[in-house]
Amino acid sequence: MRESAVQRRAAVRTESLTKRYGEGDAAVTALDGVDVEVHAGELTGVMGPSGSGKSTLMHCCAALDTPTSGRVFVGDAELTRLKDKDLTRLRRDELGFVFQSFNLVPTLSAEENILLPMSLAGRRPDPAWYRTVIDTVELGDRLRHRPNQLSGGQQQRVAVARALASRPSVVFADEPTGNLDSRSGGEVLTLLRRAVDEMGLTVVMVTHDPVAAGYCDRVLFLADGRVVDDLREVAADAVRDRLSTR
Ligand SMILES: Nc1ncnc2c1ncn2[C@@H]1O[C@H](COP(=O)(O)OP(=O)(O)O)[C@@H](O)[C@H]1O
Ligand SMILES: [Mg+2]
C-alpha cells in the first residue's frame, strides 16, 4: 500500500501560479492560478490539449521560467524568493530536465554528454551514484558513441542519465517519448519508472500518450491553464476514456 495522503511529502508545490505572456490585447494566460502538489517519490504525469499550459507549468516549476504571480516551492525553497546565485545552485543540484528533442551535443560522446552539466560547473558526480545511473540506463559500450551513432531511444536515455547525474530531487520531462517509436518510448518510460522505484527520485512527465500515462502513479490534467482533473494509478484505457470525453 502507498502512504496515505496526509503523509505524502510535496517535492514541488505551487500556489496560485499564474503566467501571462505578452501585453494588452495580445496577452495570453498560459497558467491561471494553479495550486498543485507533486508528491515526493512518485512519477506524476501531466496531460492536456496542446496549449493548455503543460510546458509552462514544467518550466516555472523547474526554474526555467518565472511566474507572473503566485509561488513555486521546490522542497522548502520558494523559487521567487531565491537570489540568482541560490537559484542557479538549486537548478544545477536539485532539478533535472529532459526535453522532447534530446538536446545532446553532437560532437561529444554519450558519457561526455552525461557529465557535461556537472563538468561545466567544475564538479563530478558521486561515484556510487554515477555507477547506479550508468547501470540503470543500460547503454553498455555505447557510452563512447556519439549521439548520431545511437538510436533515438538510446539518445533519450543519455539525456535522462544527464538529468540524473547530479542526483537531483526532481526530474522534469516534457514529452520525453514524443519523438520515439513505441518500443524506444517504452525503454525511456521504464528508465523513468526505475528512477522513481529504485533510485528514489521524483519525476514529473508531460505526455500525450495513454500508454505513458499508464506508467504514472498519478496523472494531472490541464485545460486552459488550470488543473481540471487529478487521477491516481490510472490504466491506459481509462486515460483514453478521459481524453475522449473532452
Ligand atoms: N514564450 C511564449 N510567448 C508567448 N506565448 C507563449 C509562450 N510560451 C507559451 N505561450 C502560450 O501559452 C499557452 C500555453 O503554452 P504551453 O505551456 O506551451 O502549452 P502546452 O505545453 O500544454 O502545449 C499557449 O497559448 C502558448 O501559445
Ligand atoms: Mg508543451
Q: For residue 13, what are the CA distances in angstroms to 42, 101, 240?
A: 14, 27, 27
Whole-number Å distance between alpha carbons of 226 and 208: 17
Its sign, for the CA torsion 160, 213, 195, 89, is: positive
Residue 183, in any domain of the structure: yes
Number of domains in the chain: 1
pLDDT bracket for residue 9 (50, 70, 90): confident
* Residue 67 CB less than 6 A away from ligand 1: no
Contact by Cβ (8 Å): 133, 165? yes
* Residue 30 CB less than 6 A away from ligand 1: yes
Which residue puts its alpha carbon closest to atom 5 of ligand 1? 21
Angle between helices 127-137 and 152-164 (to 10 degrees): 160
User: How many whole angstroms from its chain centre is CA 99?
Assistant: 8
CATH number at residue 113: 3.40.50.300
Summarize pLDDT for 44-91 with one digit per residue, the tens. Answer: 999 999 999 999 999 999 999 999 999 999 999 999 899 999 999 999
Please give the radius of gyration of the chain, using alpha carbons only, rounded to the nearest integer.
18
Find the ligand nearest to 59 CA.
1
Residue 1, in any domain of the structure: no
pLDDT of residue 104: 97
Summarize pLDDT for 216-240 with one digit per residue, the tens. Answer: 999 999 999 999 999 987 766 777 7
pLDDT of residue 1: 45
State which residues form the domain around 142.
Answer: 7-244
Find the ligand nearest to 174 CA.
2
Angle between helices 152-164 and 182-197 (to 10 degrees): 20
Residue 2, in any domain of the structure: no
Residue 79, in any domain of the structure: yes
Residue 21, in any domain of the structure: yes
Summarize pLDDT for 94-125 with one digit per residue, the tens. Answer: 999 999 999 999 999 999 999 999 999 999 99
Residue 65, in any domain of the structure: yes
Contact by Cβ (8 Å): 242, 212? no
DSSP of the chain, one letter per residue?
-PPPGGGPPEEEEEEEEEEEESSGGG-EEEEEEEEEEEETT-EEEEE--TTSSHHHHHHHHTTSS--SEEEEEETTEEGGGS-HHHHHHHHHHHEEEE-TT----TTS-HHHHHHHHHHHTT----HHHHHHHHHHHT-GGGGGS-GGGS-HHHHHHHHHHHHHTT--SEEEEESTTTTS-HHHHHHHHHHHHHHHHTT--EEEEE-S-HHHHTT-SEEEEEETTEEEEEEES--HHHHHHHHHT-
* Residue 27 CB less than 6 A away from ligand 1: no
Cα 128 to ligand 1 centre (Å): 39
pLDDT of residue 148: 97
Residue 205, in any domain of the structure: yes
Residue 20, in any domain of the structure: yes
